[in-house]
Amino acid sequence: MSSSIRPRHWPKASYDPKYDPLVDAGPGHNREYAPTYWIGTAGPIPEDDGPVSGDMDVDVVIVGSGYTGLSCAIHLAKEHGIKATVLEANTVAWGCSTRNGGQAQISSGRLKRSQWIQRWGVDIAKLMHTEVCEAFDLFRDLISNNGFNCDPQEGGHYYIAHKPSVIPKLEKESKLLNEVFGYGSRILSREELHEEHVRDQEAAGAMHEPDGTCIHAAKLAFGYQNLARKLGATIHPGSPVMGWVVKNGVHHLSTPGGIVRARAVALATAGYTPAGLHNRTKNRLMPILSNSVVTRPLDDEEKEACGFKTCSPLTDTRTLRHYYRYLPDGRVQIGSRSAVTGADAENPKHLELLKKGLVRKFPVLEDINLDYSWWGWVDVSHDMMPRIFQPDPERSIYYAMGYGGNGVMYSAQAGRRMAQMVAGIKPEVNLPIFTSPLPSHGILTPFRRMGQRFMYLWYYLNDELL
């Protein structure tokens, strides 16, 4: 289903689904939104400040107008009195922020609490847990107390065992959450899950975490956009950074409409970060494609068979996990990993695999029509954890990225943390995600996608056959 959005400030180029951040020089210029459910149902697009139309001098430039960039602009204004200038290559929140699954979980990056302990030890892991709890509180405050509605659906997060053999792992993780972190997770049997929450037919049980919220992805982005502009930030779509030099400590960013000179630059481009944007972000992320579909509204018989009694986030325990949910208008959304390259993104086999995943969970939906189908890039770091970091203490450059698909919630805090750094304030908690750079892929850089294909095969064997 195509978007009904029409140009406002300038002629837009068509949506290009084959954009590949490892191949293309950049995400384009003036491209339309991807045809997502979120854009199709968000209502009118908020006002922005139009493309850059001449040279300008500003305090802070934020590159990227997704959740992270907009949160950074919001918190620069609210907490530090700094009015940022946001540059966006295409339409506002064109990338991850209007293509995700709308699931806010109490996590950041791809690692579980037990893996935090293995990597950093118990003390740092506890501090990291405190950080994500604070982040969830910030996220709740942003979506509850700022005059916009992104259709929040509270109720916790259901981590659903896709086969019986993973139940002992879930039980062990739940015990760790409860005893080490003082966090009240609990294990649900298959029968309890089916009777009281959802009738996922392949589920062997689930772990429930009390913090989890589903939102409308585009309404969240547009709510942030309105709030940032209300606080004094300016947002310039159609303004890709095409050149970047530093003269006498001042950043000169070239856009099609003029040069923007700034004393500081904050990068919030996530999975859409071009390789040539800056040498401090080159080869620091592995962009991974994820595709998503939304069904037509379910009829009464289908609703009964699926047994949705929650609109909260649902994810399964596959490494190549499915994220899914029941939408407030009676549809089902499901997403998972997709093609390896942008050139292969439109291959029908990826859509068929996702349909099969949906049917394994809800057999009654085997022949249901899909009203929306799209894909987008996820920013996965080499060590599966994000970074909010100043890579060169001599240069006023900062970045926040690497969420690994768990950025809907934590991006709000990441933007706030990056705003603190821009303002010269160190985060009050000393964590590796603030004190170390995104790790490079090093000598493996040219072979990343070869390795990705091998790992996808191994993950499939482990998820489905072992």
State residue 5's pLDDT score. Answer: 31
Residue 210 one-letter amino acid: P
The residue to which tokens 């792992």 are assigned = 169
Q: Nearest to residue 96, comparing CAs of 74, 72, 69, 76?
A: 69
State residue 9's pLDDT score. Answer: 39
Instruction: Indicate the domain borders of the chain.
Output: 19-151+214-285+379-461, 152-213+287-378
State residue 6's pLDDT score. Answer: 31
CATH superfamily of 19-151+214-285+379-461: FAD/NAD(P)-binding domain (3.50.50.60)
CA 448 to chain centre: 21
Q: What is the pLDDT of residues 310-324, one digit of tens each?
A: 999 999 999 999 999
Residues of the chain with pLDDT under 70: 1-12
Contacts 24+ apart (CB under 8 A), 142-148: 142/71, 142/74, 142/224, 142/227, 142/412, 143/213, 143/215, 143/220, 143/223, 146/223, 146/227, 147/227, 148/219, 148/222, 148/223, 148/226, 148/227
Q: What is the pLDDT of residues 350-398, one digit of tens each?
A: 999 999 999 999 999 999 999 999 999 999 999 999 999 999 999 999 9
Q: What is the pLDDT of residues 143-197, one digit of tens each?
A: 999 999 999 999 999 999 999 999 999 999 999 999 999 999 999 999 999 999 9
CB neighbours (10 Å) of residue 44? 8
DSSP 376-437: EEEEEETTS--EEE-S-TTS-EEEEE--TT-HHHHHHHHHHHHHHHHTT---SS--HHHHSP
CATH superfamily of 152-213+287-378: D-Amino Acid Oxidase, subunit A, domain 2 (3.30.9.10)
**For residue 260, how many C-alpha atoms fall within 13 Å in the half-sphere facing its CB?**
29
State residue 10's pLDDT score. Answer: 40
State residue 107's pLDDT score. Answer: 94
CB 287 within 8 A of CB 345: no
State residue 7's pLDDT score. Answer: 32
State residue 12's pLDDT score. Answer: 63
